[in-house]
Amino acid sequence: MFKPNFTYTTHIVNNLLKITSAREIILHAYLVPKWDVALRKEALVRNAHSSTRIEGNRLSLEQVTELAAGRAVMATRKDKQEVLNYLYVLEHLASFAEHEKISEKSILNVHKQITKDVLDNPKDSGRYRDSQVYVGDRSGNVIFMPPKTKDVPTLIRSLISWLNSEETKKLDPVLIAGIAHYEFVRIHPFIDGNGRTARSLASLILFLSGFDIKRFFALDDYYDSDRNTYYAALQTVNPKTLNLNKWLEYFTDGVAVSVISVKEKILRLSSEKLRKDVKGQIALSERQMKIIEHLQRNKKITAGDVAKSFKITRQGALKELSKLVVLGVIKLNGKGRGAHYILE
């Protein structure tokens, strides 16, 4: 079974302490639900923009934001499809796990969705590579040669066994995500889309561990801010010893930057008024989150809209809306046929 080679350097430990401290503030902050939704949406868009941009996608953050809202943008079909694919994976991240665990099927399905309708050979989507690949620089020089093609399935299964082992569960989830990210890139199991799949895998690990349960963190932003440093960090691992210390220092740097950024946003949002109005953070169901997302896009919503969207009765829709009214998240405007709900 795969066994990572690393030690707890002072740099790594200090980053983990920073991350833990900032995350505690985030989890216990006073935050109204509409900001909860806004932060999640912002992280989703920024992750999709950054992760696809690292690998050459030309869409701007504004264009990705428009696509995420269901609006049309002027761009090539491939660029749009890559972003839409990544958005889909992030929005449905939990569905790629099997019984809350990562499996070989999980990884193949993530890759299949990420590369849907963008590969030269559609048969390579969701399937391990059948030929040797290499990683090169812009001049065409080989900077890394992944393991032999025939070894890919065994190496991936070994990584999955390690991910799901009891010993691994004792590690900090940030380290697990960082280790899995590197090992996946090292194996390079697919013809294309390895980077995006590796970053999705890291996000899935953090989500399943409960670390990023609210999906607030835009980790890919850090990698995209300096792509040369990202690639250089991957190359710090000696191919003979596979010591991950320098890579994990860089990876935990990125998580710390993202978590601290979210903490600072939340502290700004948690004004004195919110502290008085909201007695702690309000937990919303997935359905309630969708209602708020609809309100942020369309400014208002009716019981009929909710009933149609979730295929429930009007009475069931009114019940969902009433819960949000009681929580002080939305309020009723108008009467009779013109009755609708808006954000409080």
Q: Tell me: the pLDDT tens digits for 158-198?
A: 999 999 999 999 999 999 999 999 999 999 999 999 999 99
The pTM score is: 0.79
Say yes or no: 181 and 312 in one domain: no
CA dist 189 and 112 (Å) reads 13
Say yes or no: 142 and 73 in one domain: yes
Residue 283 pLDDT: 64
Residue 286 pLDDT: 75
Alpha carbon distances (Å) from 108 to 1, 54, 113, 194, 314:
20, 21, 9, 11, 40
Residue 37 pLDDT: 83
Q: Are strands 330-333 and 135-136 parallel, antiparallel or unpaired?
A: unpaired
Whether 340 sits among the annotated catalytic residues: the reply is no
Does a structural domain hold residue 279? no
Share of the chain above pLDDT 70, in %: 92
8-state DSSP, 2: -
Mean pLDDT taken over the chain: 89
Does a structural domain hold residue 153? yes
Say yes or no: 309 and 264 in one domain: no
Say yes or no: 207 and 296 in one domain: no
Say yes or no: 109 and 237 in one domain: yes
* Average pLDDT rounded to a whole number, residues 212-230: 86
Q: Which two tokens stand for residue 151?
A: 């070894």
Does a structural domain hold residue 280? no
The answer on pLDDT for 252 being more than 70 is yes
pLDDT digits (tens, 9 = 90+) for 47-87: 999 999 998 999 999 999 999 999 999 999 999 999 999 99
Does a structural domain hold residue 95? yes
H/E run at residue 202: helix 194-208
Say yes or no: 320 and 190 in one domain: no
| Overall number of domains in the chain | 2
Q: Which position has the higher pLDDT, 222 or 35?
A: 222
The answer on pLDDT for 99 being more than 80 is yes
Determine which one of 92, 188, 294, 340 is catalytic. 188
Say yes or no: 251 and 290 in one domain: no
* Average pLDDT rounded to a whole number, residues 96-121: 95
Domain end, chosen from 269, 302, 328, is at 269
**CATH value at residue 306:** 1.10.10.10
Q: Which position has the higher pLDDT, 15 or 210?
A: 15
Does a structural domain hold residue 275? no
Say yes or no: 235 and 113 in one domain: yes
Say yes or no: 258 and 336 in one domain: no
Does a structural domain hold residue 42? yes
Alpha carbon distances (Å) from 7 to 40, 94, 156, 179, 184:
33, 30, 23, 12, 20
Does a structural domain hold residue 198? yes
Does a structural domain hold residue 276? no
Q: Which two tokens stand for residue 145?
A: 């040669």
pLDDT digits (tens, 9 = 90+) for 118-167: 999 999 999 999 998 877 666 666 677 899 999 999 999 999 999 999 99
Domain end, chosen from 207, 241, 269, is at 269
Contact 283, 33 (CB under 8 A): no
pLDDT digits (tens, 9 = 90+) for 260-316: 998 888 877 664 444 445 445 566 777 887 887 788 777 889 999 999 988 899 999
Say yes or no: 244 and 313 in one domain: no
Domain end, chosen from 269, 304, 330, is at 269
Say yes or no: 251 and 114 in one domain: yes
User: Angle of helix 286-298 relative to helix 314-326, nearest 10 degrees?
Assistant: 80
Residues with Cβ within 8 Å of 67's Cβ and at least 6 positions away in sequence, in order, are 59, 73, 80, 83, 84, 87
Say yes or no: 187 and 327 in one domain: no
Domain limits for position 306: 286-343
